[in-house]
Amino acid sequence: MTHQPLDDLELETLENFLESDQVHEECHNFVMAHGFLTALSICPIEFDKNKWQTILFEETPNFTNAKEEKNITQLLTRLKLDIHKELESEEEFLVPCEMALSDSPDELSELQEWSSGFMEGVFLTESHWFDSEKEDAIAELLLPFMVASDLFDDDDVVQIRKNTKLAKSCIEQIPDVLTDLYLILRTEPEKKSVKKKPTPNKNKNTKNHNKRS
């Protein structure tokens, strides 16, 4: 059976549900969920659907009925497949938000939310990202997401963030880097011990932005 991508109405239905009062306040909104599922789609190991949906929702939503529950969970599963198909095509990846950081330190832009969701997906499956001969290359490719996510306080990341021109140049690489990461992680690596991986600031949380604030 041919895969049918989500249409505009289905995308709107999913986005509205993830922003509704039916979900926990720490539930991923649509852009965070998209980033999270993008990372899981790049990872070469399939992560259990029930587990990633549990993490995404934070707590079981207050579904109106069984039909709504089935519809929303199917839309999420199809969204993940849409993302996988887009990565697999090796065409330019469309991040569903403006490629810009927030001007306010108290509010995250949608790109920062998307990148936070992405890095959460990376940390969830990190043993499959860094346990290879390509771990240094992968860590380097993750730099734009580290800059955009605002989860890291490394000196190099902070300096890039402070330089508006450099930060803009860095985050604009994200669509191309996603394809690079997909290709590098889908090849068969030579296994070796893990040396290096990005570590977020422990005082920050991937869900530090309340979508209803």
CATH number of the domain within which 85 lies: 1.20.120
Cα–Cα separations (whole angstroms), residue 107 to 102, 201, 209, 211, 212: 7, 18, 7, 10, 12
The residues, ordered by sequence, that sit 6+ positions from 41 with a Cβ below 8 Å of its Cβ are: 80, 83, 84, 87, 182
Burial class (CB in 10 A: 0-12, 13-18, 19+), 45: exposed
Q: Is 213 a member of any domain?
A: no
Q: Is the pLDDT of residue 43 over 90?
A: yes
Both tokens assigned to 194: 């893990």
Binning pLDDT at 50, 70 and 90, where does residue 213 land?
A: very low
Q: Is 18 a member of any domain?
A: yes
| pLDDT for 131 | 73
How far apart, in whole angstroms, are the C-alpha atoms of residue 102 and residue 97? Answer: 12
Binning pLDDT at 50, 70 and 90, where does residue 27 land?
A: very high
User: Under a CB-based contact definition with an 8 Å cutoff, are residues 133 and 190 in contact?
Assistant: yes
Question: Please, what is the average pLDDT of the chain?
Answer: 88
Q: Is 2 a member of any domain?
A: no
| pLDDT for 198 | 65
Least confident of 108-112, 138-142, 152-156: 152-156
User: Under a CB-based contact definition with an 8 Å cutoff, are residues 87 and 178 in contact?
Assistant: yes
More confident residue, 189 or 154: 154
Q: Is 201 a member of any domain?
A: no
How far apart, in whole angstroms, are the C-alpha atoms of residue 67 and residue 212? Answer: 26
Both tokens assigned to 204: 């920050």
| CA dihedral of residues 144, 207, 124, 204 (deg, nearest 10) | 70
User: Tens of pLDDT along 157-181?
Assistant: 999 999 999 999 999 999 999 999 9
Q: Is the pLDDT of residue 130 over 50?
A: yes
Q: Is the pLDDT of residue 72 over 60?
A: yes
Provide the number of structural domains found in the chain.
1
Q: Is 191 a member of any domain?
A: no
Q: Is 212 a member of any domain?
A: no
Q: Is 94 a member of any domain?
A: yes
Q: Is 43 a member of any domain?
A: yes
How far apart, in whole angstroms, are the C-alpha atoms of residue 165 and residue 102? Answer: 14
What average pLDDT does this structure show over 91-101? 93
Q: Is the pLDDT of residue 189 over 60?
A: no
Binning pLDDT at 50, 70 and 90, where does residue 203 land?
A: low
How far apart, in whole angstroms, are the C-alpha atoms of residue 27 and residue 147? Answer: 23
| pLDDT for 81 | 96
pTM listed for this prediction: 0.87
How far apart, in whole angstroms, are the C-alpha atoms of residue 108 and residue 149? Answer: 9
User: Under a CB-based contact definition with an 8 Å cutoff, are residues 209 and 170 in contact?
Assistant: no
Q: Which domain holds residue 97?
A: 8-185
User: Tens of pLDDT along 10-24?
Assistant: 999 999 999 999 999
